[in-house]
């Protein structure tokens, strides 16, 4: 094994705190969602949105890598992820992801094949496999 990169972030506070990326220096303001008692119209994000962003970008990158490695021509890869936070009585919370993958410039069969290959290849997908329900739409 060879480590390719390492990224570190620091969270200060909880849902009304900040997350700072130590490489870029970017800071993300966290806000409690309205569904959890937060105030409406506040700028900021939340852990669920950040997780969905990480998953979507990692899956899209994995699919693009596999398409390029196979010599398959395509126009664009788009991955939209909805992250559902679900409460399970007596167990806590878990995620369900609804994933919409589109690869323009290929047939529907090629699109499905590379979506599936991408999910098997993507480190986010492999990390959550068996722990998070993924619904492909």
DSSP string, 62-84: HHHHHHHHHT---SEEEEEEEEE
What span, in angstroms and rounded, lies between the C-alpha atoms of 131 and 126? 10
- Name which of 24, 27, 22, 26 is nearest 9 in CA terms: 22
In angstroms, the CA 94 to CA 87 distance is 7
Q: Tell me the per-residue pLDDT of 31-76, one tens digit each, with 9 for 90 and over.
A: 999 999 999 988 999 999 999 999 999 999 999 999 999 999 999 9
Question: What CA–CA distance (Å, rounded) separates 77 from 119?
Answer: 14
Residue-wise pLDDT tens digits, 78-106: 999 999 999 999 999 999 999 999 999 99
pLDDT higher than 90, residue 122: yes
CA distances from 134 to 17, 45, 58, 85, 128 (A): 29, 22, 15, 13, 9
Is 90 exceeded by the pLDDT of residue 7?
A: no
Question: Does 72 or 7 have the greater pLDDT score?
Answer: 72
* Strand 76-88 to 27-29 pairing: unpaired
28/10 Cα distance (integer angstroms): 10
pLDDT for res 86: 95
pLDDT at res. 107: 98
Q: What is the pLDDT of residue 19?
A: 95
Q: What is the pLDDT of residue 22?
A: 86
């Amino acid at each position: 094994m060879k480590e390719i990169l390492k990224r570190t972030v620091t969270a200060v506070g909880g849902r009304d705190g900040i997350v700072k990326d130590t490489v870029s220096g970017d800071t993300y303001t966290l806000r409690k969602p309205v569904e959890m008692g937060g105030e409406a119209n506040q700028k900021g994000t939340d852990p669920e949105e950040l997780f969905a962003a990480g998953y979507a970008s990692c899956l899209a990158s994995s699919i693009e890598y596999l398409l390029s490695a196979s010599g398959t021509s395509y126009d664009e890869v788009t991955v939209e992820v909805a992250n559902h936070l679900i409460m399970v009585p007596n167990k806590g919370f878990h995620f369900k992801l609804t994933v919409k993958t589109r690869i323009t410039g290929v047939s529907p069969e090629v699109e499905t094949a590379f979506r599936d290959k991408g999910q098997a290849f993507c480190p986010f997908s492999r990390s959550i496999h068996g722990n998070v329900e993924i619904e492909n739409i």
